[in-house]
Amino acid sequence: MVVQTPPRQYSIEEYLLHEETAEYRSEYRNGEIVPMTGGSINHNQIIINLVIALGLALREQDYRVYTSDLRLWIPRYREYTYPDILIIKDEAIFPEGRTDTVLNPSIIFEVLSKSTSSRDRGDKFTYYRSIPEFQEYILIDQYQIHIEQFSKTPEGNWLFKESDDADGILTLASANSQIPHRQIYEKVKFETQPQ
């Protein structure tokens, strides 16, 4: 009989200390430290495109755009994560004593990869919805033109929209701005699949 040893449980303090000295980033999932995978060239290009487009679209509004170097703490689920892009309305709220972790994103973008797409659509979205300020969640496919958008209604329900249209436009209702899909996917090269 093989006995599996449960993974070691780390305190939040141990995790934060680990992150300060680590050569790579890790997420914290209710006591477990989980290394993050590296990104592809398409993943990187989409993030760059989004940062440029969002920066221009939101420049006269009170929103700030941050990339995956900024950590997000989700207290209800004891989860630290690094979303690909966070948009914060007004000022960032930090946990006490930290300036490298935020609590209050309004909009989160995740660029999907084969290894993360089910978690991004599942647990992460559940966890993000526990954030009171959270209004929109956008998932960008890096392998084809495909954008999924979840928007919170005033009643607290979530509406879903998706598009495969290269000429489509992503409308951020909570930030009153639009970004053409062509800008999101500019310079992205999709691999052709053998038939």
Q: Could you tell me the residue range of the domain that residue 23 belongs to? A: 7-36
Task: Render pLDDT for 5-44 as a digit per residue (tens, 0 to 9).
Answer: 777 899 999 999 999 998 889 999 999 999 987 789 999 9
Residue 73 sits in the same domain as residue 159: yes
Residue 135 sits in the same domain as residue 150: yes
Query: Cα–Cα distance between 60 and 40 in angstroms, integer?
Result: 32
Residue 26 sits in the same domain as residue 117: no
Residue 55 sits in the same domain as residue 143: yes
Query: Cα–Cα distance between 177 and 169 in angstroms, integer?
Result: 10
pLDDT confidence of residue 1: 67
Query: Cα–Cα distance between 27 and 19 in angstroms, integer?
Result: 9
Predicted structure pTM score: 0.91
Q: For 108, how many CA atoms within 13 A lie in the half-sphere containing its CB?
A: 29
pLDDT confidence of residue 61: 94
In a domain, 24, yes or no: yes
In a domain, 195, yes or no: no
In a domain, 1, yes or no: no
pLDDT confidence of residue 115: 84
Residue 63 sits in the same domain as residue 117: yes
